[in-house]
Structure 1
Amino acid sequence: MGYFKGKQFKQDIILVAVGYYFRFPLSYRDVSGILKERGVSVHPTTIMRWVHISSIKSGKRKTNLHSYLGI
């Protein structure tokens, strides 16, 4: 994928971080903490950028799902 070219982190780490955010009711800070426990230090703002870009590209929006579920 062209999106991952030139990124500081590997494709796997970006996909895992975005996957955690979309699958579970976690904040960016929570996802950052989970990755830190696994030896990868990522700032929550970086995760926010990854989620924002991936949601635009895929058409997914967590807020729509959460408002529907009442979360």
Structure 2
Amino acid sequence: MSLFKRRRFPVEIILLCVRWYCKYGISYRDLAEMMSESGVAVDPSTIFR
């Protein structure tokens, strides 16, 4: 079973957020702002979950 089953966002977007969060220590709010600049509307609490 896939860990990404029933997720709203594509796997690539999820992995990109996780990579940036782990590598650069970016806050969830900053990460959500960066994603919105890329055209992906995501709430910081969604990234946290």
Q: List runs of 5+ in structure 2 lacking aligned partners.
A: none
Q: Which has the larger radius of gyration?
A: 1
Deviation at 1:44, TM superposition (A): 0.3
Alpha-carbon distance between aligned partners in 2 of 1:39 and 1:26, rounded to the nearest angstrom:
18
> What RMSD, in angstroms, separates the aligned Cα atoms of the two structures?
1.1
Q: List runs of 5+ in structure 1 lacking aligned partners.
A: 50-71
TM (normalized to structure 1)?
Answer: 0.65
Q: When the two structures are aligned, how many residues end up with a matched partner?
A: 49
Are residues 1:41 and 2:36 paired? no
Aligned to 1:26: 26
TM (normalized to structure 2)?
Answer: 0.91
Runs in 1 of length 4+ with deviation above 2 angstroms? Answer: none
What is the one-letter code of the residue matched to 2:6? Answer: G
